[in-house]
Structure 1
Amino acid sequence: MEIQQLYARQVHLLDAGDAHGWAATFTPDGSFSSPTYGEPVSGPDGLAGIVRQYRENAGKVGEIWRHITSDLEVGVLDEHTVRVRAHQLIVASAVGEQSRISRVVALDDVVTLTEDGWRTRSKTITRDDLA
């Protein structure tokens, strides 16, 4: 349940544009890799930059983007580390238009138990449309 809550918290923070809140769901050396955003980033500043870019990209096209996470599979690597695989639908909405699925992505993450709870150490995203 704690892992599921981490993923729910991450998408709510991301979709709300809370750059520092989203970055805080990662370990201090946490990394993020997605073909949507070019080179991988790591650390709080790099991670926060992803959220700002995400919001800017949505704003440029006049849309609100929401993430819907499904199919969470959690595999234990050791007593403090798990591998999480999941899928996300990114739904795009614009006023007066029907919402649509913008992208379907797969997540392959490593999540670590820290003093502050579960945090993402690495998040690797692949896009079905670029596979």
Structure 2
Amino acid sequence: MESPDRPDAAAMRAYTDELRDMFREIQDRGPELYAQARTVQITETSRDGLVSVTVSARGELVRLDLDPRIYRRPDARHLADVITDTAQRATAKAQQRVLEIFEPVVPRAELQAHLDGDIDAVLEQLANRMEGNG
């Protein structure tokens, strides 16, 4: 008799099979997908068009371009905020592109939780899938 607090054996077997299939797919396609992800670069331009930021797949700053017109408005705080906002939008788009690349082999929600460093979500997804709820 199964305990209500423990996942049933069939659900755990199904999850194990799913993990095995996912692992095989990652082994087969992983190097190709990783190579694609490494080449991701996203350029985002500020709403006013004066700041352009390029980031890598990991959100690292690759390039920063400032239009000379920024000197017409010498407001360092505003400029810093515009650069920060533009870089954050570029990073979010880069992350979305990486998710798209790996989506065929890793469930999007799982990879998103890992990229966000959300350990609680990762553990909750794992528990749900072990119980056959995922």
TM-score norm. by structure 1 comes to: 0.25
Q: Identify, as 1 or 2, the structure richer in strand.
A: 1
Higher relative contact order (CA 8 A, sep 6+): 2
